[in-house]
Structure 1
């Protein structure tokens, strides 16, 4: 196992509370919910920021948490690493190039005000992500991690662009769709949500991100439970 440090931003109080609200909503979705997939309609809707902060939030409850970067096409996790080197990732493991221990990294807070959680990075991009994520080896990986960790947070590519999240969705306990306020119309969001449900995934709800609360009206997209996230602050992927 290798140690890394992932950036931690000081969010305004209201925004920090929304991460806790999201965490609570997932907890109350059922005690059987351990593996949770997060996807979006498009890129830059804030998905990776939310999933990393949610992993931290669960770790603050003394949960053993692992974050899996399943964007095997265009991962942005390396931009968020402030110390440490990623040598192996999920693509290496799924293609038989290393063991599971070689791809698990610990966010080690050291003396900093942070919490410990674990990370599996995506590794180098691949031309066959759907085949790797559809493989029995990936299914077996999730099963093995369920026995070791309390919470598994999966960051998947936008489902409005590629099918990867649908493939992963069939293997997890629940999924959450992240939508940027004003970024996608109702029909697009419904189409993406329907794809998740069609995959066999249990759609836990929708996070409405980057909400400008200074405006008097905005729309919520309703599927299952609604999670209102964000303030007037714009944080992208």
Structure 2
């Protein structure tokens, strides 16, 4: 008799527990599912509201241009015009952008001749000073528009470029001789056709300044004459 009562009591307890569990489980499951959905919604919201990548600063763009390297591979030797034109455009943007932003940049990845490199560095320095004084009739900028680019192959490793460009509607141009040195592209002569520019004043008028000699900046007599004019021009500029 006692055992029967105990069994009935035990069964009653077990049944009661099962009822509680059955009643609670769906609620707990619903609660967990709701929490998961809320977490997923929050994650999606965070992704959608995350800030967009910041644009590079002018200094960073100039640094990237200065560090860029151009070369011609074996399979490009027959037609390397696109690579060489892009090389020329990158140099123009680097130089013009450095003047506009009043930054000092390196041209070592573009120019290997020490005389031309020294001249280009000095020209940039004086051009920046002149730009601050408002003595230049063209607009300098980092992102220039290029039109009617002229490309000529002078010999196996020598190329001539004419790069007319403009910034905010102000147009002028750059001419250069580009040489392939061990597949790496280097400028061996460069000239900016700006009548108020340092280049024109110290190296000659556009009608007289020819770019047909890749050894020009190796000729010491020419180099000495250019740097004498450059020194004189700097003295005049500082006294203005």
TM-score of the pair, normalised by structure 2: 0.27
Greater share of helix residues, 1 or 2?
A: 2
Larger Rg: 2
TM-score (norm 1): 0.27
Higher relative contact order (CA 8 A, sep 6+): 1
